[in-house]
Structure 1
């Protein structure tokens, strides 16, 4: 039977994937957006809160390549099964975290290892679930799905801001558990990819190790280095937004509004991303996202009240809002077909993994040393270095080729 006869309807693949994106980012908001605020509420210091952010990201660094490599070595195993099992295990850790508000540093560390390693790290495989169909010519609107995910993140953030103000920050963990269960159901019911897979022993390119992939593709590797430094400076602007808001006189409700504006500002990217991609190419869009993400830090440094923090948030549309879809397309265009799942995980490791980890350490240390303004200065410096490395990567060539490939697909 031909692949076209087995393939589910385009409408179902498209809308179901958008629902998965919305579910993931709603779940992400419920546990990660309020991670620092909840840890501070439980009596941890800024440095310890930064350490927990680093632990979550470090877990992703370890687990993402393992999950991606396992998926590459077992192409007949649907990705949705790997994601479903990962999130189910994370759900157990989330229940323990909720039922034990007095847990100490080591127990909290273990919880964030599981959540960061199995729940948050499942996102690259969810991306790959769509990319598999996109590579077969299925017109899944990935950028729109990512934009809807940003809107879901924004809505959940503002709702949880008011919920935390009325019921306390601990109540956000209940919302998180409900959303994890919902996302598990969405992933488990997504149609499995049934395209042609290479048989064992069949000739054809085999997946490389992560190290081999980096050695064979210097342009890709240099871009990863730029993304790492860029995200080191950009991630604290959201993970430690609570410190910026309170330093400007804001409250928990103001934090919810700021998070809403930040997430909602990513939605418009979905409507013009394809035009920008055809005109500039994925590499230049990654550079643009690093520049505007760093500019956000500059503008936040110049604010002197909570209203200013709120006004700055829409710059996210060309910052992190542009980064996620651009990074997915950049990997898909820059690495061999057999390595695309691993490539997505390596990109996530360099950005939200290593970048998030170092950003957490940097933010926690600078906050205790000199407050929010010192943290912003350090973030700006790291972001500028990252943007310069991304620019150097573009100088190695490949941009025209990538745009040509994308033009053929669209």
Structure 2
């Protein structure tokens, strides 16, 4: 029996917000400038797209493993799994920074570790808040996610200035410092202790396998398919935004300002989300999010200069800005309690995992074949498919959401 004092809501709330901000600041330092760094190291667009796919594929493999381990070993605190994953990612980052001339195979190995352990620990960090929320502690998850977007935005613009002054290679130093800070925040977060269930209930609520969960919740599975296409459409708009900027007459240093606006416009979504959730529900918000992700691709295709690219960024608010909180709540409402950690990891696999991998391959191929406009056209097509599938996943009146 644990003797740790129950943490206050204020402590949980603000510590979790700090953890979200730390994660997205770290994410900006390594992922927002991934393509720019690879191009600076002499890789081609196709190879940069391949490395983006490697990072995302690693998440596809590792996220279910981490989520399944967490579900099978509920006595192991989630913060321990997240902290160790981030520490291994930090070690890979140190190697990446120390060996700027490493070849394609070594670079791929680095991105396997960073993508499979560092970036992929995020759904478990979401679950760290959901555990307390399900116990009646109303942690302001959407506010934390919104301020995380603000941290992402601020770091991106600072990195833009840093790149202009000292070069893109220095972004790795920022990544290492931010990762170390995030590890400290994770390990000091209060540990959640499960309430002892009745014996019969415990036996009835054993976690399912990922395949069994998908079979037993068809509407959840259909929504995942829609999210997969939607994220395949929208992630290249950030991961390969530097290519769009260059095609519109901008420079690599302008990426910082564009990413700042992109992340900054996700913050208002944090304040809109609770009201939208009450009025629309998480499923309809996901449809709205996918529609605006697609619309952003259309808007970027119609631009002809850097100012136009910057003016498109407010669409992020109702696009990707709504996606993360909506997806977390949708999983929490759509799968059995015993499968919620696994459900969060499956959602991350379908979205930032498979979606990021396919988006990277799509971007790399279309950029080499026909440039930024071809990439945007491919993104728009995928976004339309994703929006329709998400719409079809909504429950009909009088039917279960699952």
The two structures have a TM-score, normalised by structure 1, of 0.95
Q: Which residue of 1 aligns with 2:329?
A: 329
Q: Which residue of 2 aligns with 1:122?
A: 121
Q: Which residue of 2 aligns with 1:170?
A: 169
Q: Distance in 1 between matches of 2:395 and 2:106?
A: 46
Dislocated runs of 4+, deviation >3 Å? 197-202, 395-402
Over the aligned positions, Cα root-mean-square deviation in angstroms equals 1.7
The 8 Å contact of residues 235 and 355 in structure 1, kept in 2 or not, is answered as yes
- 1:195 Cα deviation after fit: 2.6
The 8 Å contact of residues 234 and 379 in structure 1, kept in 2 or not, is answered as yes
The 8 Å contact of residues 49 and 364 in structure 1, kept in 2 or not, is answered as yes
Q: Which residue of 2 aligns with 1:407?
A: none
Q: Distance in 1 between matches of 2:197 and 2:29?
A: 39
Q: Which residue of 2 aligns with 1:78?
A: 77
The 8 Å contact of residues 6 and 194 in structure 1, kept in 2 or not, is answered as no
Alpha-carbon deviations, 1:125-148, whole Å to 9, x = none? 000000000000101000000000
Establish whether residue 57 from structure 1 lines up as the match of residue 56 from structure 2: yes
- 1:398 Cα deviation after fit: 7.7
- 1:370 Cα deviation after fit: 0.1
The 8 Å contact of residues 219 and 401 in structure 2, kept in 1 or not, is answered as no
Return 5+ residue gaps in structure 2 as ranges. Answer: none
Work out the number of aligned pairs and report it: 401
The 5 A counterparts of 1:265-276 are: 265-276=265-276
Q: Distance in 2 between matches of 1:36 and 1:172?
A: 12
CA 1:6–1:378: 2 relative to 1, 3 Å: same
- 1:272 Cα deviation after fit: 1.4
Q: Which residue of 1 aligns with 2:355?
A: 355
Q: Which residue of 2 aligns with 1:21?
A: 20
The 8 Å contact of residues 282 and 327 in structure 2, kept in 1 or not, is answered as yes
Moved more, 56-65 or 391-400: 391-400
Q: Which residue of 2 aligns with 1:294?
A: 294
CA 1:361–1:399: 2 relative to 1, 3 Å: farther
Q: Distance in 1 between matches of 2:398 and 2:271?
A: 26
Q: Distance in 2 between matches of 1:160 and 1:314?
A: 21
The 8 Å contact of residues 75 and 197 in structure 1, kept in 2 or not, is answered as no
The 8 Å contact of residues 394 and 401 in structure 2, kept in 1 or not, is answered as no
The 8 Å contact of residues 54 and 357 in structure 1, kept in 2 or not, is answered as yes
The 8 Å contact of residues 21 and 148 in structure 1, kept in 2 or not, is answered as yes
Establish whether residue 113 from structure 1 lines up as the match of residue 139 from structure 2: no
Q: Distance in 2 between matches of 1:2 and 1:44?
A: 52
The 5 A counterparts of 1:218-367 are: 218-367=218-367
Q: Distance in 2 between matches of 1:269 and 1:354?
A: 25
Task: Name the SS for the 1:268 alignment partner.
Answer: helix
CA 1:43–1:132: 2 relative to 1, 3 Å: same
Q: Distance in 2 between matches of 1:87 and 1:176?
A: 12
Alpha-carbon deviations, 1:302-337, whole Å to 9, x = none? 000000000100110000000000000000000000
Alpha-carbon deviations, 1:37-82, whole Å to 9, x = none? 0000000000000000000000000000000000000001100000
Q: Distance in 2 between matches of 1:299 and 1:392?
A: 25
Alpha-carbon deviations, 1:174-208, whole Å to 9, x = none? 00000000000000000000131559995331000
Establish whether residue 382 from structure 1 lines up as the match of residue 382 from structure 2: yes
CA 1:69–1:185: 2 relative to 1, 3 Å: same
The 8 Å contact of residues 334 and 401 in structure 2, kept in 1 or not, is answered as no
- 1:368 Cα deviation after fit: 0.1
- 1:364 Cα deviation after fit: 0.3
The two structures have a TM-score, normalised by structure 2, of 0.97
Q: Which residue of 1 aligns with 2:180?
A: 181
Q: Distance in 2 between matches of 1:59 and 1:198?
A: 35
The 8 Å contact of residues 219 and 396 in structure 1, kept in 2 or not, is answered as no
- 1:251 Cα deviation after fit: 1.2
Return 5+ residue gaps in structure 1 as ranges. Answer: 403-410
Establish whether residue 157 from structure 1 lines up as the match of residue 156 from structure 2: yes
